[in-house]
Amino acid sequence: MELILSTVINGLSLGGIYAMIALGYTMVYGIAKMLNFAHGDIIMVGGYVIYVFMAFHNPLLAILMAVVFCVILGVVIEKVAYKPLRGASPLAVLITAIGISYLLQSLAQIIFGSANKMVTVYDFGSVTFLGATVQVSALVTLGVTVIVMAALTLFVKYTRIGRAMIAVSEDKGAAQLMGINVDGIITVTFAIGSALAALAGLFYLLKAPSISSTLGAMPGIKAFTAAVIGGIGSIPGAMLGGLLLGIVECISYKITVIAPYTDAIEFSILIIILLVRPTGFLGKKRREKV
């Protein structure tokens, strides 16, 4: 019982991180119609920025700087690498995104070396809850994720910029005719996605206080899996997919026989979902137009 409870809470917390990253993917995919491969590596950049600013022993400053830096980085990447390719074939954009991801990873390795860096942002300790011992940081992660998710849903539904985002994701041309600054909206989307990635980086450091240049690669792919499971382009879908994947991962790690194959199991879920229900749980089916 205790084991189940702690596994589920850990799973939800990990799922929260995935959901946070998946949100960035899903929003960028919905609006710019591109798969931002570099998104996972922004998590890693966020982690390193926190590492650097923790020299001042002020977690809040470090977190703030990480968010600001990641937002600037995300916007710069969008302007420099993706904007010139708007209107080009999707394949070209995808390859550029992979190039950016590779660039960030190798730059980080050059700057910080290939060895893992240790950094403790804040030690929350642990708490015993109904007999199960749970890290408080896991609860904090879960709480922050839920708040961010709710805020984002409200933002998209009720603000001008949020509604403009929906319009752009529905039809770029029509949105432009309605007087929406499409380029501006895409920039805002990248900024939000990068800020979420920075937070995800923070949560990774809370979970395990070690950071390397490939920190973001695997979570990035898994978060995309989560986004596809939930239905790409859907904000609640990203949340659902992320939490589901997190729980699956934590349960799989607890079962000794299949523990080494956890990654394989998660990706098999992706393949099965694509086979059975390509639009995911909450995704909408779009008709193809010429």
Partner 1 sequence: MKTKSKSFDMKHYINYIVIGIFTLVFGIFSLAGGHLSNSMVFLFEKIAISIILAVSLSLVVGFLGELSLGHAGFMCVGAYLGGKVACLLEPMLGNTAANLLVGLAVGGICAAVCGVIIGIPALRLRGDYLAIVTLAFGEIVKSIFQNTSDESFGGALGLTTPRYDKKYLFIFAFVLVIITLIIVQNFIRSKHGRAVTAIRDNEIAARATGINVTKYKLIAFTLSAFFAGIAGVLYSFSNYTVQSVKFGYNYSIEILVMVVLGGMGSINGAIISAALITFLNTKLATVLTGDLAVLQNLLYAIILILIVIYNNAPKLKSFRAKYNIRNLMSKIIKPKNDPSKRKDDDAKWDVVPTKIEMNEILSIDVKPQKLGSDKKEGGDK
Q: Does 254 bind partner 1 (CB under 8 A)?
A: no
Rounded to a whole number of angstroms, the minimum distance from the CB of residue 203 to partner 1 is 22
Is the C-alpha dihedral spanning 147, 151, 157, 162 positive or negative?
A: negative
Nearer to partner 1, 109 or 181 (CB): 109
Q: Does 238 bind partner 1 (CB under 8 A)?
A: no
From candidates 215, 228, 229, 243, binder to partner 1 by CB under 8 A: 228
Taking contact as CB under 8 A, which single stretch among the options 67-75, 133-141, 158-166, 256-264 is the one that binds partner 1? 256-264
Rounded to a whole number of angstroms, the minimum distance from the CB of residue 98 to partner 1 is 7
Taking contact as CB under 8 A, which single stretch among the options 97-105, 156-164, 179-187, 195-203 is the one that binds partner 1? 97-105
From candidates 61, 88, 127, 150, binder to partner 1 by CB under 8 A: 88
For residue 287, give the 3-state DSSP assignment. coil
Q: How many positions of this chain bind partner 1 (CB under 8 A)?
A: 47
Rounded to a whole number of angstroms, the minimum distance from the CB of residue 110 to partner 1 is 5
Nearer to partner 1, 97 or 180 (CB): 97
Give the H/E segment covering residue 133.
strand 132-135
For residue 288, give the 3-state DSSP assignment. coil
Could you give the CA distance from residue 213 to residue 242 in angstroms, rounded to a whole number? 23
Q: Count of alpha carbons within 13 Å of 95, Cβ hemisphere only?
A: 6
Taking contact as CB under 8 A, which single stretch among the options 118-126, 184-192, 243-251, 260-268 is the one that binds partner 1? 260-268
DSSP strand pairing (117-118 vs 210-211)? antiparallel
State which of positions 126-185 bind partner 1 (CB under 8 A): none
Q: Does 35 bind partner 1 (CB under 8 A)?
A: yes
Q: Does 70 bind partner 1 (CB under 8 A)?
A: no
Could you give the CA distance from residue 7 to residue 259 in angstroms, rounded to a whole number? 14
Rounded to a whole number of angstroms, the minimum distance from the CB of residue 126 to partner 1 is 30
From candidates 4, 72, 76, 106, binder to partner 1 by CB under 8 A: 106
State the amino acid at position 69 in one-letter form.
F
Nearer to partner 1, 14 or 217 (CB): 217
Whether 247 and 11 have beta carbons less than 8 Å apart is answered as yes
Q: Does 255 bind partner 1 (CB under 8 A)?
A: no
Taking contact as CB under 8 A, which single stretch among the options 164-172, 181-189, 245-253, 266-274 is the one that binds partner 1? 266-274
Sites of contact with partner 1 (CB under 8 A): 34-35, 81, 84-92, 94-96, 98-100, 102-103, 105-107, 109-110, 113-114, 217-218, 221, 224-225, 228, 260-261, 263-264, 267-268, 270-272, 274-275, 278, 288, 290
